[in-house]
A = this chain, B = another copy of it.
Amino acid sequence: MRELRLMKGNEAIAEAAIRAGADAYFGYPITPQSEVLEYLMAEQPMERTGMVVLQAESEIAAINMVYGAAATGKRVLTSSSSPGISLKQEGISYIAGAELPCLIVNVVRGGPGLGTIQPSQADYFQSTKGGGHGDYRLLVLAPASVQEMSDFVKLGFELAFKYRNPVLILSDGVIGQMMEKVELFEQQPRVTTFDPAWTVTGKPKERERNIATSLDLDPYRQEKHNYKLQAKYKAMEENEVRFEEFDCKDAEYLIVAYGSSARISQKAVQLARAKGIKAGLFRPITLFPFPKQEISALASQVKGILSVEMSAGQMIEDIQLAAAGKVNVQHFGRYGGVIPAPDEVLEALELLISGGSK
């Protein structure tokens, strides 16, 4: 049965977490994502499914609670916004290093520092290249609708467990605060079996003790562990690239944008097409793994690429790496909390076409 609701993106995350059979949520309030925790608290998930929800004393405590729960094989998530996500970087690096599955949601706001509480996409580098220390990657999903806020919670858990890796949902204030129609998926059962190969659930006689750790003081063993991680990231690059195309088939000019920028850019493409410009939109859904091959192919087809981000230009580097010099890649962004309007994007595209740049 289709269950339709008008929901905020943040609420969709929360409802989807309950329905995805999450075992626990640990979080700390911060605008513009506090509705996640608020919705959960109001929904009494302990009564609904037995899910634990706890307001932690800080983001650092929250991510380490996630670490603990994840170590036991439970399905666990946290959410925050930019400054809070920065605080979680050590914990995230630990989780990645210890190969624990979990879901982290960042509803990005304008920075740097305390910045503003308005939407932004300036945490792309942090999310995709590793804001924490060491060679690790998060699998990064970038929803562009409230529907995807819901869907990616389910998908995110699946991928997190498939790869035993933290998955980041990189959203922003627009997607978190807007309401749209959502078709909710059905309640999934909570996990009841725990992989005896790694979950820290208490050592029975039959098996060796399990340990969740990212430590190995021996550099050669540590390097081996790192090779294993790299192999995993490679597998993600091979299997998990997700993207969406609009009007790319015959496009002469390409906009690449993710999340809310993609929504805005889609409108810009419509406006451009109305003006006779053969524009297309390529929307990476996974930011890591980045759809490098697809963009590389399009780079051979089009005359110019416009990267539209609510940032000073971060994803553009990945696009340029994919384009490898084949075509001019230009950046358009509003940032610090300002959201570009579709016609501004169109203008930037026209500027690119005319050979100009800002």
Contact = CB atoms under 8 A, between A and B. Distances in A.
Chain multiplicity (copies): 2
A331 to B, nearest CB: 11
Interface residues of A, number: 68
Interface stretch (A132-140, A145-153, A254-262): A132-140
A219 B116 CA distance: 7
Contact of A215 (B85, B114, B135, B338): B114
Contact of A217 (B112, B116, B129): B116
A358 to B, nearest CB: 11
A90 B88 CA distance: 9
Contact of A111 (B83, B97, B230, B337): B97
Nearest to A312: B135
Given A133-B126, A135-B112, A215-B116, A312 B96 contact: no
Interface stretch (A45-53, A117-125, A200-208): A117-125
B83 A90 contact: yes
B223 A338 contact: yes
Contacts of A126: 89, 129-133
Given A86-B93, A94-B113, A125-B125, A219 B338 contact: yes
Contacts of A213: 113-114
Given A214-B114, A226-B335, A122 B94 contact: no
12 contacts: A94-B112, A98-B113, A111-B134, A111-B136, A112-B130, A112-B134, A113-B214, A115-B216, A115-B222, A122-B133, A131-B131, A222-B338
Interface of A: 60, 82-87, 89-90, 93-98, 108, 110-118, 120, 122-123, 125-126, 129-136, 213-220, 222-226, 229-230, 311-312, 314, 317, 320-321, 324-326, 334-339
